[in-house]
Structure 1
Amino acid sequence: MSGRLLRWACAGSALSALVTLAPATHAAPGPAPGPGERPVAELLTDLQRLYRQAEESTETYNATDEKLKDQRRRVADLNRRRAAADAAARDGRGAAGRLARQQYRHGSMEISSYVRLLLARNPQGALDQRHVIRRASAGRAATAARLTADARTADGLAAQAQQALTTQESLARRQKQARDSVRSRLKEVEELLASLTPEQLAALGRAEDDGAADAQRELVASGALGAPDARRAPSARGERALRYAVEQIGKPYVWGAEGPSSYDCSGLTQRAWRVGGWDVPRTSQEQWARLPRVPLRELRPGDLVVYFPGATHVALYLGDGLVVHAPRPGARVKVSPLAANPVLGAVRPDPEGSAVAGWRPPRLPSGAREGSDAGWGGAFAGRPSPTPSRN
């Protein structure tokens, strides 16, 4: 199956049945209810929306960051080529100046060449001299042509470098806008969570876990993952990528991070596959757009599972309906049900890779499945806030 699994549509009836968590000492209702008066389902919807927007902005930041790195390399290359062209043009101007001074001192050698031939005591010597004169004339023409070409090359590279620099400045502005958008969304998350009681946070965690469990059961029951007992083996590269990802379990999610001490979702998948010996794009959108698609029923360990309509989240398939991923700010790399988020589809970085014989799944560390995918379970009780520190 490659369509979307609308996670909360399955759990909507259960969430709508949850009661409002209102403090016992609450006064008469005002014009707009505060966080403590709103139903858990509504709070959960808001939090998921904010996290999704933050992840979309994070992937926009990552994509712009990659383009900015490429553009900086292009600007540096153009500047090197421009410097070489400027040096060649200076050398050409020097050569042209020497020819001009030589002609000024000795006059034009071309005017007297025929006369010298007629008056020469040694006609053969004069013919040899005329050959030299022609070669000198051709050399002057070549010098002039080279000077013109070098000047044009230098001017063209100067224009390209200026245009590339303008593009770089535009990308830097877009990168800052994406960074500010991430920070804004995460600040909203932090403010909303800070307004809730521990009981409300616990209720939110239970609601999300229940929704994920319902979505996972429906996914398995639908047969979308193939036969329940079908255990496929990864490719050699996929195995190395997956084992690396499992070794990262417990490390924190940090937006824009590519490891090795912290990751965002696509930073983890890219680095894991790079360790596996295969380069994949930096962002989840590019991974979804550029890597070969594979049906969920044919998933094998190491494949990448992509989530949300905008392809803004990605995880590595572990097998048995589980994934390894960096869920959200405030959470840590962990193992989760494949349907912990709405599935868009799956991709396979190395479709030609042969399955490993005698495959054995990696041993999971203790607590690999602990912690909420929500990112808020205990994240704001004595732990750093999700506000990013990356500049």
Structure 2
Amino acid sequence: MSGKHYPEGVLIGRARVPGQQHPALVTVRDGVLFDITAKGMATVRDVAESGRAAEHVRTAPGRELGDADAVVANSVAGKTDSSQPSLLSPIDLQAIKASGVTFVVSLLERVIEEQARGDKAKADSLRGEILGLIGTDLSELVPGSDTAMKVKAALIERGVWSQYLEVGIGPDAEIFTKGQPMSSVGYGAEVGLHPVSSWNNPEPEVALLVTSKGEIIGATLGNDVNLRDVEGRSALLLGKAKDNNASASLGPFVRLFDGGFTLDTVKTAEIALRVEGEDGFVLDGHSNMAQISRTPESLVAATIGSHHQYPDGLVLYLGTMFAPVKDRDGAGKGFTHKLGDTVSISSEALGTLVNRVNLSTQCPPWTYGASHLLRDLAKADLL
């Protein structure tokens, strides 16, 4: 990995550059950040839809913006010098979609959330009880298979069937809208918790960059911030639990597929999570994408196809196996965020995404949308 926060490879991202209104398209070459914004290739969407994204980013003329590590360091909220470039989310006009309950551990925890009705004090006892009732290793189940349907029937008979088990082992994947185009935040930004929540956690994930034709052309890291108590009260509150100001983080860059980095690399990627609190609390975790229960291709196919089109493409969070249960404030109290937590999500193939936790009402409001981007690009004669 070059530096601490980004890997080698064909990288594309976006940056705020002093003296210009529109975000710049950027890449890293030999440790230097380059602005490769060009007429007709002024958005990540344009590059992705070109059919030659990696080749374009690798060969496009560019203007040096400075040392890439320095720009990364300047992107941290509260430490940003506005006279210097800083990173933004590495996507722009793409829809922001997410898949849920794609790992066995998160499947179990979603069932617990539902059964506990958002009460984290009940979670430990429920965890043991539900594992006993299942009586099988869910990691061996193929979603939608005959064996999975038999487990479903047995759970219904025992009175513990859950909507989360339905999407975890049933034929249909859970796909939802995580946020609107242009609403995601990037490396160093604050991530937001809705102030009604008292039980929440990070969800470290790989997110795929997908074209309007359904082609997967790259990947990045993401934090699908989750409110466990809100979603646990009712799955109908998924929108409130998932889509809030600054609740979708991506970055630091999208790494585009080329000869040395492919979807197979993503499928075996190791993902690490570290939460560091101002109270001295530290949480570490690791997962492997090889443990996902549905293939990335099948999740993309469930999202885009003849049943649903995305003219500007999409980014798809692939789900997480992390559901932190480490006690934070005493035995049996489990994990929840505290304001000021620093969340680091890392992978050798994709770099490190770092964000600081705040209330969504206290994070910078989302004010720059698709209309603003297009107006600014038009003023700069880049469309």
Give yes or no for TM over 0.5: no
With the shorter chain as reference, the TM-score category is: under 0.3
TM norm structure 1: 0.25
Structure whose alpha-carbon radius of gyration is higher: 1
TM norm structure 2: 0.26
